[in-house]
Every structure is written in C-alpha cells, then in structure tokens.
Amino acid sequence: MSNNSKLKTASARAFAAAAILALSGVASCALAQANNASLAGQALERAFSSPYVPVGMANSAQSQIVYYRPGSPTRGSTASDQGANVYVDGEFQSALLPGGYTAFCINPGMHAVGAFLHEAPAYRGKTERMVAESYAAGQTYFFKVREDGSGVPIIVPQAQAEQELQSIRKQVHALSRSSSVTPCRGAVQQPLPSPPPPNIGAVQAPSNPRIEALQREVRFEFAKSNIQSVRTEDRSALIELARQFGAQGTASGRLVSIGHADQIGNTASAYKLGMLRADAVRGFLISNGVPAERISVRSAGNTEPLVMDCREDVACAAPNRRVVIQTDSRRGN
C-alpha cells in the first residue's frame, strides 16, 4: 500500500472516530436532558397528593379556608418557578402549583390572607402589608389564586369552587410556617352552608335604612394619601359619620374603608396608594371614636374607576382618587 493510501485510510479512521465521539456526546446530552425532565416531572408529581374531597364544616371555634389554583403545572419547570406562595399574616403557608389546593384553619378574627406569584427574591408576601379582613367562627371560605400578581384572593361561591376543585389535587410539597394557622378539628363530612364572604370583594349594601345612611365617599389630591390631602368638608363628613356610627352602637355593625386610585401609573402602585388612603381614613375615624376592631380596610387599586378614558389628565381622573366608607352587611361587635 502506498504512503498516500495509508494516509487516506488513517484520516478516514480518525474522521469516523471523531464522528462517533460527537454522536456519543449528543446522545449523552439528550439522555441527560431526558433524565432531568423525568426528574422534574417526578418532583412535580410528588408535590401533589389525593384529589379534592369536600371539606367538612368548620369547627365552631375556627374559620376554615380552602385556597386553590386551577390549571396544570408546566412540565420541565421546577415547583419553585411555578408556585404561588400563600401567606397568612405575613407568614408562609403553602406554595400552590397550577392544579393544587390547600385547606387550613385559623382562629376567628382579623387576618391577612393572599398569594403571590414569581416573588423571589423580594418575597412580597413577607414584606408588603396585605389587606386584613374579618373571618367568622364556624365558616369556610373558598379562595382562588389571582394570576395578576396583586396577591388578593378571588372569593368563589361554594358551589362554583367545589365544581372547579373536582380536577384539583392537594398540595403537599411545602410545610406551613404560619403561626396563625392551627390544626383543623371537628370537621364533619356533610354539605356546608354558604358563608358570608370577607370584605375582599364588593360590599353588599345593608338592607337596614338606618344603617344605609352610614356611607361616605371622600376624595384625595393627586398622588397623595395623607388625611390632610382630603378636603375640609370631607373630613367634617367623616367626623359626622363617626358620631352617627357611635350613636347607633352595635346595631351599626362594622365599617369597611375601601381605597381607590386613578389609572395614571401602574397597577401595583395604584393598589398600594389605595391601601394607604384606606388606612388614612381608618386612622382618622378611629381618632374620632370608631373602635379599631369595628373598621377594616381594603384596596381596589385602579380597578373600579368612576370615570374612564382620562389617560394622563389629572383633573379628569379626580373622581377616581377616593375612599368609600361603607357599612359591612354583617352584624356583630
């Protein structure tokens, strides 16, 4: 065999060896990717337990919450990437993947409950003040994760919730660290009465005409939230409202202060501004005699404007910068 032939043969063998190594590397990479995807799928599967079974009635000394998230988890993505972290009073309770639910109990009273998505590394549920609402003893509440990032739960009627929960499984991959969550006790497997919802959504108008009069709306200056930015006549109206509320005693029920913002700016800022305004009015009413435990707050942000299409017109949007004070339709101290 000539030297040229030998050289060609050696080159061909080297090329074949290199090709085999390259194909082997591609195959190994594909196998690793497949293994990683398989492991991720197994991890997601381990995050779930049994399908939803209707919860029993809450113990008469507890409030029960079922928090759920429709959908299906994304294969190939980790649980931490997809989780909606549920917080109770600023402490972690669970991380809901699409298709998961959690059920837990709290002591009756004022609590802040919500779920945040994609919140690392800031962890807004720990650092941001959420709306505190009153939860009644012996009642069960059904909440759905809101996917817009606001953290505010969607209140769902029991019948609708249990229909949606039929395809949802219990979330088990995370342990609650909330000191407000207590073990549920005394549940009875039977249909639940529909509870009155907490004041996270629209507040129903009271039927008692004497209580109906205890409703006010005050306006704030642009981008401001302190009580000094409220018109003098509106502050006088708040003082009168506090007087009327006190005169009616326990028959007047409870008040809710609902903060609103205009649509100039982003949704997150509007939500915060609405909460600050609601807090300012609540503090003013408390300073004028309304018991602190008889008035709660929430923010509607820029989701309930009175006037639309103002764009960046500050004067046009003035009616949207407001706090509405309403009597809670529930009775009690």
Q: Are the C-beta atoms of 320 and 274 separated by less than 8 Å?
A: no
132: phi then psi, degrees, rounded to nearest 5: -95, 130
Round the average pLDDT of the chain to a whole number and report it. 77
3 state SS of 149: coil
H or E element in which residue 248 lies: helix 232-248
- Residue 190: what pLDDT? 47
Structure token digits, residue 195: 């509870």
Q: What's the rounded Cα separation, in Å, for the pair 254 and 333?
A: 7
Residues 92 and 155 in one domain: yes
Q: Return the amino acid letter for 212.
A: E
CB within 8 Å of 159: residues ≥ 6 apart: 194
Q: Is residue 281 part of a domain?
A: yes
Q: 273-319, pLDDT tens digit by residue?
A: 999 999 999 999 999 998 988 888 888 898 888 888 888 899 999 99
Residue 83 or residue 22, greater confidence: 83
CB within 8 Å of 202: residues ≥ 6 apart: none
Q: What's the rounded Cα separation, in Å, for the pair 245 and 252?
A: 6
Q: How many domains does the chain have?
A: 2
For residue 252, what are the domain limits?
A: 209-328
Q: Is residue 12 part of a domain?
A: no
Candidates 262, 295, 278, 287; CA nearest to 217 is 278
Candidates 185, 155, 139, 10; CA nearest to 68 is 155
CA 22 to chain centre: 50
State the pTM of this model.
0.48
Q: Is residue 189 part of a domain?
A: no
Residues 176 and 223 in one domain: no
Last residue of a domain, one of 128, 163, 182: 182
Q: Is residue 187 part of a domain?
A: no
